[in-house]
Structure 1
């Protein structure tokens, strides 16, 4: 988490004076540039009102820019007496966990779409994420100053993909010199469709799209109809149908209602200085966008609060955005500062967070991700609000609906709930995507190995979309990441933040061995080297069992051929050899071993001797029976837009899979994947795929579906490896492949 320039107003205390806006869009669409222009426009507006504005920090070095593109970033300013918190989310699919954190902390989303590049697949996926969360949305079109940009065509594309509720609120037009072109923006001006009425310029002509009075009037009518459709005032429709003029004040009053309902999505254009495509200078439309935040975006009072429970699972209090209610806040982002320690970005949903008080830190429900349930008390040593590069501005209290930064909450992790120690509660956990890309790593030096566990524990506490797995079978340390960019960031943070250098290694898939058929084997361990020797002979019979049966050891010795005290020794040796495998070094499963005979010596037989004999006997028997390699098979569910079903199924077929079902998906949830609110038809493809073929699927599925496909995977069973692939593991040693 990084914080940037703000104009702090300690007198803002009411819910109606706060706007929490999420900036959403693909990398390269111009989110960061837009955010900086919004801060600059807000500073100018404050200065015009006679309020001091902080220095403008619109330049940034490469390191800061990189952090802004991969982290959830908070920027804060004020406009028209309201605090505006901008949550700038990463634009890469690998960091969709930060987007969901932003959805938890924000009240409305602003989609940043490049009019030059159009709407890509990832933007469509993000739109569906916001629709699934019920987040109100608006759209801003950037890079319109480019000669190839087309405002009307981009709006039409957005309407096709996101629905008919996408309607322009302003139109960019280029006026002839006689009408007074806007200096610095290539002669462009913005026409406010709500307030234009009959005051539309008489000779409008937009560059490349021929905007005229009729087209402006048509756009205005469509906008008014869209607002009226969501209005609660039925008299507006009657006035409109009767041809009566509608006052802009009436339309503005209902604009927020239309946006808040999530079916109306206003579009605003922004243009940078002429000749500076995507530049960070003064931006035409920034002030209008700030006005949209204050006039049309919902306040925190309209945010649907998460359900609360008690840490023991019982029902919690019904929460509302009331500063005087029970304290309920959530950590939506965690990071570590080398000088300050752990820093938590907190959204206060209910109550008031005060400095120098004790809070209950509660985290439950993420044990399977490596985050055990925990309940601790921590002291709020200091609260601050997002500020400029110099740090944060201290605050004594933060009320419901606002965001703040809390330092030194030692046990707090992303997703934890902060509440009163006298009345602890737990907020319903927000959905965190399951990482699907395994990246095996190995410490490069002994010094790095000593620090690796601690460093990974801290990174996992910051990033709930990262899972750290210590493979007992493979002996590997595996990082489960969202994609290649995510894994690069994790490894880079290990190096730069914690001084831990690691190398990537190929992940190992846990194979198994089993028998082709029954067989008999003898283990003879006889050694004499002076003094007591070692003597043990075991005869065993082995046979395969049905899949999933496990392993059995049966004692069928008669007549005391193997003394009773050595039977456990034989079993111990047999099971240890089964763990080690007999052909390729993988555990031997689904096998029954019967000890049928043997020999012992009254002096030289021992526990160690019979362990060795039992292991050798089962090894020889298994080799005689022939070995079949087994590989894990996964149940895979791929959710993809309809147009990509063909490439997805063809790719799965090339991965030795069996497609077991293809079904259209409607609203709601399917196999844990959010699909309601989707802007396009989607299909769920179910398949059974060998795990070895899925190691890079998290990367490949994005290429196949242009960033719009998602998938889940679950362990299913083990199946035989095809002979031509098994030979690579078993080699050509006689007797090992049957």
Structure 2
């Protein structure tokens, strides 16, 4: 038998009938299963089975793909007077872009933690992100019906990792083995720690070691009440409690809501089993209704006009001007472009004009834009595969809309008469390069269009067309992310591609000064070609670039052909002379030459200039240069040693180690972190986005930027040149 649901205040006193909640946790923690249980349980499971005349099916993604993207599951029937929108997010670090989108759309977060696996490093990072934004959070501990699962130890891990304020709202208690459960009954029950103490010994029908026993329940109840009182605005509450006064459940629930809304108290609920009869599912729904804040209690994003001028924040009034944001876009094979939208103010209606504005992501291939569009149909998902058409979406709610062709994730939708722009949320920087090549000519013809659509759906991927290497490179968040992109190219757009090794753009320079002669003399019937030039070359200090100087005296090379020689030299500098890499940090001086009054021409002196450079480079000898990156790694202190050792193994130089973090709002558990600054060759960093997670158990992040070019060690240069020659 489940514990009685907590008494919650009527919805009309809260200001809205919607709760927007994002589910957060690592892959395998049970987020999707829990979302389906909540869907089946809400008001007797009608949400899971109800269909209207205006529904459509959208289950075009397989299960694995759904687990690696952002999904909206709306509990379309009302639970205790509320509509609850659940945003089920992916659990891999590769898809943190989708998770941040979910955090933007939601007003509270439910962290789902498996009693078998505990808390991984990525979940810890997500908790810190929520803490920095003061997002209200609660915790659901799942899979307690599995062998070796233990609530007490999992709770202890959560308290250690997540910090203060993590306390159970219900305590799971195992029934006695001598008292077999009746058909339909669970082997466990939940003790409501805010309900009045039960008559008789609390553990008289319980197994020892299952959080039972009068002492364990009483201690958990006292800890919960004291935790709530600590966040109460009533300063006399603690004195009354210590004096032995019994506090009413209603008063404690009121203070619980305040504590959770402030982001400083995090109730824990245990869940057991699957489906509508799962233990703890109704208790979670009651927690959403009684403790999580309404959309109007959540701060709105910073707002400006599209031209950058200031404007007042939207009022949040459903009857006010429209202010909404595109959280994610997807492509449905039957409907076309579908946008997931959070409405912050006003009301979104079908077939109405809106202004679409998106700024700040031009460096990722998403240029700024301000344009008017028209909303298509508006729908509310009933579950994984069915959507119901609705007449409107009011402020505070989430919906999907079709046919907004130009909309991308992060775009603002507003009234054409008074357009606004929300400040974009921080998108992660993709750090894993993946070079691809179309498998067939037909695939090559469709590739650019397919990539344009994919990047519109997923701002965390960047497409680079390298002018130096000629490669098409996808910058992704990790291997799983790249797998999804390539799989979608094939399944959704019919574009098959192959992965190819990523080529790092090298450079060359001279070992020393030298002289060179370029002789381009050809004679055939009619006009011939005649040009001879002599040059002197010398290396320049790193970073000074390239120079060309005209030092011809006596008119040996006619003035009109000097630019021709320079053009030929510059072209050969770009093409390289040994391995096909551009030459840098070099000075070229044209000192002498010869011309013919009839056969000399612009083309002839261009060819002579190029030949002279090749001849001089062969005499001077070449040095292969590789790009060096300035790398900044942020990692917990415990991983500083392995990270620095790994950087050294990559031929990197650590140039600075700086402690950061502590017990600030972004580091609630007091986990000190360290920034490691290093200079590392780019060839050694191609897979660092994957390796850093392994080194730091998913808790390390890094950024990088081009620093300079440096000579490649001789033994490696020979390997690179051999590979380049083979290509």
**TM-score tier (shorter):** over 0.9
Q: Counterpart of 1:502?
A: 497
- How far is 1:314 from its partner? 0.9
Deviation at 1:116, TM superposition (A): 1.1
Shift of residue 13 of structure 1?
Answer: 13
Alignment of 1:64-143 (within 5 A): 64-77=62-75, 78-143=78-143
1:6 maps to which residue?
none
Residue in 2 that maps onto 1:3 = none
Instruction: Work out whether residues 172 and 188 of structure 1, in 8 Å CA contact, stay in contact via their aligned partners in 2.
Output: yes
Residue pair 2:175, 2:189 contacting (<8 A) in 1 also: yes
Confirm whether residue 606 of structure 1 aligns to residue 604 of structure 2: no
CA distance in 1, matches of 2:625, 2:185: 66
**Conservation of the 8 A alpha-carbon contact between 1:657 and 1:689:** yes
How far, CA to CA, are the matches of 1:625 and 1:358 in structure 2? 67
Indicate whether 1:701 and 2:702 are aligned: no
Q: Does 1:295 align with 2:290?
A: yes
- 1:255-654 maps to which residues of 2 (within 5 A)? 255-272=256-273, 279-280=274-275, 282-388=277-383, 391-654=386-649
8 Å Cα contact 1:172-1:206 kept in structure 2: no
TM-score (norm: length of structure 1) = 0.92
Q: CA deviation at 1:653?
A: 0.6
Residue 321 of structure 1: SS of its match in structure 2?
coil
Change (3 A) 1:342 1:177: same
Are the counterparts in 2 of residues 174 and 181 from structure 1 also a CA contact under 8 Å? no
- Matches of 2:210 and 2:387, distance apart in 1: 46
How many angstroms does 1:731 deviate by? 5.3
Distance in 1 between the 2:314 and 2:404 partners?
A: 24
2:175 is matched with 175
**In 1, distance between residues paired with 2:407 and 2:591?**
59
1:158-213 Cα deviation digits (max 9, x unpaired): 11111121101111111236878465565210000000424463515346446210
How far apart are 1:584 and its partner, in Å? 1.1
* Pairs aligned (count): 708
Asked if the contact 2:443–2:495 (Cα under 8 Å) also holds between the matched residues in 1, the reply is: yes
Cross-structure match for 1:243: 244
| SS of alignment partner, residue 548 of structure 2 | strand
Cα gap change, 1:544 to 1:52, in 2 (>3 Å): closer
- Secondary structure of the corresponding residue to residue 195 of structure 1: coil
- Counterpart CA distance in 1 for 2:59 and 2:356 is 36
Residue 14 (structure 1) shift: 8.5
Task: Note closer, same or farther for the CA distance 1:62–1:322 as it changes in structure 2 (3 Å cut).
Answer: closer
Q: Is the 8 Å Cα contact of residues 334 and 345 (structure 1) preserved in structure 2?
A: yes
Q: Could you report, residue by residue, the CA deviation over 1:5-59 in whole angstroms, capped at 9, with x for unpaired residues?
A: xxxxxx9998521100111111111111111111111141769xxx99559x9xx
How many Å separate the matches in 2 of 1:282 and 1:155?
A: 23
Q: Which residue of 2 aligns with 1:686?
A: 677
* 3-state DSSP of counterpart to 1:475: coil
SS in structure 1 opposite 2:236?
Answer: helix
Change (3 A) 1:220 1:183: farther
CA contact (8 A) 1:15 1:400 kept: no
Which stretch shows the higher mean deviation, 38-47 or 73-82?
38-47
Secondary structure, in 3 states, of the residue corresponding to 1:729?
A: helix
Cα distance in 2 between the residues matched to 1:668 and 1:577: 57
Counterpart Cα distance in 1 of 2:134 and 2:314: 18
Aligned residue in 2 for 1:158: 158
Inter-CA distance 339–159: structure 2 relative to 1 (3 Å threshold): same
The offset of 1:282, in angstroms, is: 2.8
Residues 411 and 63 of structure 1: is their aligned pair in 2 closer, same or farther, counting only changes over 3 Å?
A: closer
The DSSP-based 3-state class of the residue aligned with 2:127 is helix
CA, structure 1 residues 44+54, in 2 after alignment: closer, same or farther (shift >3 Å)? farther
Deviation at 1:391, TM superposition (A): 3.5
Q: Which residue of 2 aligns with 1:34?
A: 34
- CA change 1:678–1:193 in 2 (3 A) is closer
Q: Which stretch of the first structure deviates more once superposed, 462-471 or 529-538?
A: 529-538
Please list the CA deviations of residues 105-154 of structure 1 after superposition, one character each: whole Å capped at 9, or x if unmatched.
Answer: 00110011011111111211221222222211111111111230111111
* Residues 431-469 of structure 1, C-alpha deviations (whole Å, 9 max, x = no match): 100100000001111100110000000000000101011
d(CA) in 2 for partners of 1:114 and 1:453? 41
Please say if residues 43 and 53 of structure 1, whose CA atoms lie closer than 8 Å, have aligned partners that are also in contact. Answer: no
The aligned residue for residue 718 of structure 1 is 709
Distance in 2 of aligned mates of 1:186 and 1:52: 24
Q: If the length of structure 2 is used for normalisation, what is the TM-score?
A: 0.93
CA contact (8 A) 1:474 1:510 kept: yes
* SS of residue paired to 1:70: coil
Q: CA 1:186–1:52 in 2, change beyond 3 Å: closer, same or farther?
A: closer
1:324-382 superposed Cα distances (whole Å, 9 cap, x missing partner): 33311000010011221111000011121122211000000000010000011001122
Shift of 1:321: 2.4
Structure 2, unpaired ranges of 5+: 1-10
Aligned residues: CA RMSD: 2.5
Cα contact 2:65–2:484 (8 A) shared by 1: no
Counterpart in the other structure of 1:7: none
- Whole-Å separation in 1 of the counterparts to 2:628 and 2:683: 9
Give the distance between the partners of 1:13 and 1:561, measured in 2 at CA.
94
Look up the match of 1:147.
Answer: 147
Q: Secondary structure at the match of 2:74?
A: strand
Distance in 1 of aligned mates of 2:137 and 2:395 = 22
Give the direction of change, closer, same or farther, for the CA distance of 1:45–1:179 in structure 2 (3 Å limit): farther
Matched, 1:252 2:250: no
C-alpha distance after superposition, 1:655-691 (max 9, x if no partner): 000111111112799xxxx955466221111111111
Aligned to 2:654: 659
Find the aligned partners of 1:202 and 1:667 in 2 and give their Cα distance.
Answer: 41
Deviates more, 1:523-532 or 1:497-506: 523-532
Distance of 1:375 and 1:27 partners within structure 2: 38
Answer whether contact 1:659 1:688 (CA < 8 A) is retained: yes
Inter-partner Cα distance in structure 1 for 2:403 and 2:661: 45
- Between 198-207 and 75-84, the greater mean CA deviation after superposition: 198-207
Q: Note the residue ranges of structure 1 that are not aligned, 5 or more in a row.
A: 1-10, 273-278, 734-738
